[in-house]
Structure 1
Amino acid sequence: MSNRRHRSGTGRYRDQFLHSPAWHARRARWFRTEHRHHGTLTCAGCRRPATESELELHHLSYRGVTQVGGVWRAFEAHRDLTAMHPWCHGTIHRIIDRDHGLSHHRTRRDATTAAIRTLQSKLARGTEEVAG
């Protein structure tokens, strides 16, 4: 299985699931749990504090995302989601997409962890071409 981000307009996940009531409810639950356990929200990519409205959630695993009878279900484990600023989230996907080992030969969780380390290392060095 590939970890590459599919840009086609026919992607049910991006075109349907991310707009579903199930996803919006799951996203709200994830942020409530984070607030309760950690107080401050932080981007997993750049490690900067942020508000819920400034962050997106990245899936480390799609287990729990199902469609039953045409209705989306969002029962991802809390640890299968991580918050990121949109720029960091997009950069993580670009890092994964451009690295054959990450995009084809690693689990999604391992690929994301490696991409986050790459992003954080480049940000620490002040590198502008983070996804290059």
Structure 2
Amino acid sequence: MRRVRAHAVVGRQRARRRGQYAEYVASAAWHARRRRWVQKEEQCTGKPVCCAVCGSEEWDDLHHLTYDRMGHERHGDMVAMCRPHHEQVHRAYDAGRWRSLGYEAVMRRLLRLAREEHERRGA
């Protein structure tokens, strides 16, 4: 789980949600869900799982596009990402004033922008 930025204000509700998330991603249920996600992704695409931004098969993280169904995620609620691109998307989210737009909409947009930037750089 990402560390809270040094200057961030974290209220009780956000601190509680972060704690719940940390417990969940450390659980056997999450690890089983992650394995099922990988299996379904490979079955649907017919290819190995890769980073949603750069296409690298060296992905590390399964990024939540929404936490609305945490513990009962749909396949489309998550995408595989390499650590550098996962951190890039979260830094962009943290740097903006996005909260009023809704997390899922913002994450989908930031993911698209990260892909476009990656393609522009020709990496």
Report the TM-score when normalising by structure 1. 0.71
Tell me the residue number matched to 1:89: 86
Which residue, out of 110, 113, 117, partners 1:115?
Answer: 110
One-letter amino acid matched to 1:78: H
1:14-93 correspondence to structure 2 within 5 Å: 14-40=21-47, 41-46=49-54, 48-50=55-57, 54-65=59-70, 74-93=71-90
Check conservation: 2:56, 2:82, Cα contact below 8 A: no
**Identity rate of aligned residues, in percent?**
28
Tell me the residue number matched to 1:69: none
One-letter amino acid matched to 1:57: L
| Aligned counterparts of 1:6 and 1:62: Cα–Cα separation in 2 | 17
Greater share of helix residues, 1 or 2? 2
RMSD: 2.4
Unaligned runs of 5+ in 1: 66-73, 128-132
Greater share of strand residues, 1 or 2? 1
| Aligned counterparts of 2:66 and 2:21: Cα–Cα separation in 1 | 15
Q: How many residues align?
A: 110
1:47-66 Cα distance to aligned partner (Å, 9 max, x none):
x1415xx331111111332x
Tell me the CA shift for residue 6 of structure 1: 6.3
One-letter amino acid matched to 1:60: L
- List structure 1 runs of 4+ shifted beyond 4 angstroms: none
Unaligned runs of 5+ in 2: 5-9
